[in-house]
Amino acid sequence: MTQQIERTLKALKANRFGAQFAPSAAAARALILDMIPQNASVGIGDSVTLRQIGMLEALIKRGNNVINPFTLELTIGMSEDPAKHRLFKETTRKTFGTDVFLTGSNAVTEDGKIVNIDRAGNRVAGIIYGADVVILVIGRNKIVKDADEAVKRIKGVIAPAHAGWKKSRTPCAAGSECTDCASVDRMCNITVILEKRPINTDVNVILIDEDLGLGWDPDWDEKRVRAIESNYRKNTWSFKKE
């Protein structure tokens, strides 16, 4: 375990979050299965990290009732199909009130805060008050110094990259810096920073010693960044149809 990970786990616990270390994706998967009872219902917030570690398949195979709106069948072509869009929203709302809400996060800070930026808000709503127990699965590449650095990285590096891949109609997708745009495709509509554990929600972080999901510092070695990008694209529905 690196000093950065150790420091982050200690700070999360000081802020009353549950915080556990997993040295690998396989270890994280086993840890989460131990945390979730076999008869529990599990709501899913969209997370490439969950797909990368094989968490959804493991829960379904074990027999958990998994409510996941973010399937290929529901999400591809949703914007052009009103009926599919309605079904997607109905399924998303069913994730609230499950026994466990399971998702990832955009960033976790060394001083123990959890930072997320959403377009629709279902993920952050689920994290704050979607279930009694919330589990956030986060790779080491999502660790940043503080909340200011987290927002700067998400809006200045990660969102533009994602918008560009999706060919969104935002200034950042075309290579411009974040301009607090008014585009209908804007992904940065909602910013939520959990500074301490919400009083009625048991929020737990599983911090994995692997690069997972979408997150990097532009100063990192290019090979590492390209590996993160490639792994992300392999596990994202919008790229699977290409």
Residue 167 in domain: no
Split into its structural domains, the chain has a count of 1
Instruction: Residue 9: give the domain boundaries.
Output: 3-144+197-240
Query: What is the DSSP code string of 151-173?
Result: HHHIIIIIHHHHHHHTT-SSGGG
Residue 188 in domain: no
Residue 11 in domain: yes
Residue 47 in domain: yes
- β-sheet bridge partners, residue 101: 43, 134
Residue 116 in domain: yes
What pLDDT digit, counting tens, does each position of 159-204 carry? 888 777 777 888 777 776 777 877 787 888 999 999 999 999 999 9
Residue 8 in domain: yes
Residue 125 in domain: yes
Residue 239: predicted pLDDT? 44
With tokens 């911090």, the residue in question is: 207
135: left (phi over 0), alpha (psi -120 to 50) or beta: beta
Contact 126/196 with Cβ under 8 angstroms?
no
Residue 85 in domain: yes
Q: For residue 214, give the DSSP letter.
A: S
What pLDDT digit, counting tens, does each position of 63-122 carry? 999 999 988 888 887 778 888 889 989 999 999 999 999 999 999 999 999 999 998 899
Give the CATH number, domain containing residue 74.
Answer: 3.40.50
Residue 237: predicted pLDDT? 53
